[in-house]
Structure 1
Amino acid sequence: MAPITRSTARRSSTAVAALSAGVLALSACSGGGGGEQDSDTLVLWHYEGPDSAMAKAWDEAIAIFEEETGATVEFEEKSFEQIQSTASQVLDSNAAPDLMEFNKGNATAGFLASTGLIADISDAVAEYGWDEMLAPSLQTTAKYTPEGVMGGDTWYGIPNYGEFVGVYHNLDMFEAAGLEVPTTYDEFIDVLDAFVAEGTTPLAEAGAEYPLGQLWYQLALSQADRQWVDDYQLYENAVDWAGPEVTYASETLLDYLDAGYIASDVSSVKAEDAGVGFINGTYPIFVSGSWWYGRFIAEATDFDWTMQAFPETTLSLGSSGNLWVVPENAANKDLAYEFIDITMRPEIQAIIGNNGGVPVAADPADITDPKSQELIATFNGVLDDDGLSFYPDWPAPGFYDVIVQQLQGLVTGVQDPATTNANLGSAYDEGTAEFR
């Protein structure tokens, strides 16, 4: 499920229509690319903010690349919206860069792979050994079928960071209430009840954007296994929308609302409001993603806090980060592969890890920040369980909006769980019909 900010949109697969439309003339503002550039120039596009963990790491990678290769990097920071909305237009021209960051998933990287706009990089993967650095669930988002479905056999991208959803706890509020951080689901419910009993709404939640859908999917995952995830995300078998997984998720979400675990006005709350509510100490618990981690380090400084995986389940929302992809029309593919390889080095991975990001190939000894050590250890635990289960909106274009709308209908009492699930199932089946 994807937020509606830049860092959020990159987790969503809802922009396939924009990909095809090519609304903006990005090539007109491009500083070069494709066949027009020098053979010793790497044209690089990404949309990470300059203060992000990834941008800091990639800036160092640029310096190393230029020193070691003698080539020049022509970096152009594009907005997520620029790249997302014009990719099919620009990549089919000589304005294509040599290397760019692009959103993972069927409707994004998968779409570009299926239309031949990004290169099959399988030979480079074998040459550099990137497959040996990436856990199986991270590889899923980098490999696609000819139809553009992730989890295929052909490599079209490389991630060098990851992300996942867990549970943030305000430890000061826990201590004041005489509570321990829960390690089982029953303990989690006991904690929620205890906070309600003292007049505190325990969960920071947002029904107008992605957080509520992420909680709903996490509840489904708590009743699911890997095969269910593969059915839901990779279309291996039909998903039973009246089955125990989604039935439990929708009924339990409604139970959370009725019990006072979630604010009654949740349907109108946005992700930013929920995050700020945790930062301000209004809510003791926030179920959300590792993309908040760096911000919490910077802003949630008035209390101690921690993040752990959702209790008593091996499956968690999450995936690789976005992908380095090489356009098929890139003029300097070999330089692109050299740059990718530098971003996988331990010293670059350590920069990601020590600045609030989640590296995929770091040496644990290189991570010196205690908060970052905690985050990476939790992520590695999810990887060890083969637990990354992607996001609920990924299977079908436009499914993000459907999930938001249907869960709003559920929590406002417009419809019951069975109707909510039936509506979700109809939209899912329609949106995935071409892949099944």
Structure 2
Amino acid sequence: MNVTPSPPAPRRRSRVNPAALASVIVGGLLFCSWFWISLAVLLTGLSALPALGSGLLLLIPWILAMQLAVRAERRRAVAVHGISVILPARRRSRREGAAQWIQNRWFELGSGAFWRGVLHHHLAMLVAGLFFLAFLVLLRIGWAGWELALAYGPFEVGGVELSRWALALIGTLGLVLSVAMLALGALADLGLARGLISGSEDDLREQVAELAERRQGAVDAAAQERLRIERDLHDGVQPRLVTLAMTLGVARTAIRSDPDRAEQLVGEAHSEAKAVMTDLRQLARGIHPAVLTDRGLDAALSALAARSRIPVELQVELADAELARLDREREAVAYFVVAEALTNIARHSGASRAAVLVTQHEGTLRVRIEDDGRGGAAVRRDGVSTGLAGLSDRVRATGGRLEVVSPEGGGTVLLAVIPPGTAAAAVRPTPATQEVLR
């Protein structure tokens, strides 16, 4: 399985930088406003739950706001502190439309990474708020010290007279300590980010489990492909080669006693040899068609549609820039999904037409095949009808999914969702990882 190299790591930032100091100020402002609003909504919603669940009217918007806040905190940790954020692969909904969005939100709600992000969001505001208040107090002391030194001269406090230099020293210390409070706040924020949202061993275990599932999908797909090749060779090419050898053997025996018969047999052997060569070309095309390598996915799918025994409406909506970025693995998976689907439609569905739509959005390739046949298709692993199981394994090996909707008498819709190839465990602010953070 080809794996796209992970994006380059962001340039390592210093522990304290202007962006980190500004982040403490912003966190302090949020502490004075959003922090208390969030806690009030949460506590009010929880207290209202016994009243016929009316608290859900507050808790559901709060949870959705927290999901947005957690994503923002992850991006901030990457942009401000330059740390890597490890996100465990989570379950994805196989539904469509609003149901898919709702189920994805539910799956995110059940992940430990989300609740750690919620805790980090509030602790970060609390810590930033404390250091921000200390910054404001010390800044005011420094400002007052310099204002007294420059405008009023010596100043008496509690019977002690402070000279201009003493007031200037107090003002300078106040200003320096105020900046130090921001620096300490930035370091505390960095520590919280590393401890709560940068990832944990549990996250890595989930990543390993996801990769193991992908590997098993690749193994299963390879086994299905090997069995198919063996079956095609055993049932198709091998008997024809045996017949060809027998024909040539009879022709060699009759070449002196019956030249006309031998000539006829050689002609039959020649025709059979050309037929075997055609079978071998078809078999090689089933392994990896040359047109896919030479001319790309669009041309290969057009050739499939042209060879289909039923009319096929093909629509490939890929921009040139996106098409150039398709790697060989995803092209091959998309091609074989369409090839196997059209073969099944022609053999088993009784359909009069088929439609194929291939689109790509933000790196994710979607292949939809629809027919108007009798329906009833399903992924089976009974050793008899395993075509869709092999396709499911191929798609699963890329980290994607294959959906089958096939009611009896209502036609069949196959949808293969193939994500961008990636081996990266760290989430970084690159286009390849934008979807992961959603």
Give the alignment's TM-score, normalised by structure 1: 0.24
Normalized per residue, the structure richer in helix is 2
Structure exhibiting the larger radius of gyration computed from Cα positions: 2
Q: Which has the higher contact order (CA 8 A, sep 6+)?
A: 1
